A = this chain, B = another copy of it.
Amino acid sequence: MKLVMAVIKPFKLDEVRQALTDIGIQGMTVTEVKGYGRQKGHTEIYRGAEYEVTFVPKLKIEVVVPSASVDKVIETISSVAKTGQIGDGKIFVLGIDQSIRIRTGETDEDAL
């Protein structure tokens, strides 16, 4: 099993979720994060005090999938989350040793 961790633009969430569901992914976990990268932030000024806001809002999607599905998942996210503009985000893949579904105690791929 692999953990596919994707950082995307927030307004793409619903499309990505839909696309993943369409290829049979049944679960994922999403976190609001702040990203730093090539995409520049902006300047905020409060009564003369200027702040360089270097972080931009992003969403992090974590999906654990059977190793066999990794490529399809990457492809799906890549194509749907892409706008072609700086800041579209990244996908990282990590190895997973075990999975457990708390409700039933099922393990590994059964738990996904």
A interface residue numbers (CB < 8 A to B) = 2-3, 6-8, 17, 26-38, 54-55, 58, 60, 64, 70, 74, 77-78, 81-103, 105, 111-112
Taking A17-B36, A100-B74 as contacts, is the C-beta distance between A60 and B93 under 8 angstroms? no
| A37 surroundings in chain B (CB, below 8 A) | 26-28
| A86 surroundings in chain B (CB, below 8 A) | 103
Contact of A29 among B27, B35, B98, B111 (CB under 8 A): B35
List 20 A-B pairs, Cβ < 8 Å: A6-B102, A26-B37, A28-B36, A29-B34, A29-B36, A30-B55, A31-B32, A70-B98, A74-B100, A78-B102, A78-B105, A90-B101, A91-B98, A91-B99, A92-B96, A92-B98, A92-B100, A93-B97, A94-B95, A94-B97
Cβ of A30 and Cβ of B26 under 8 Å apart? no
Q: A97 CA to B67 CA in the complex, in Å?
A: 11
Chain B: minimal CB distance from A41 (Å): 11
Cβ of A88 and Cβ of B64 under 8 Å apart? no
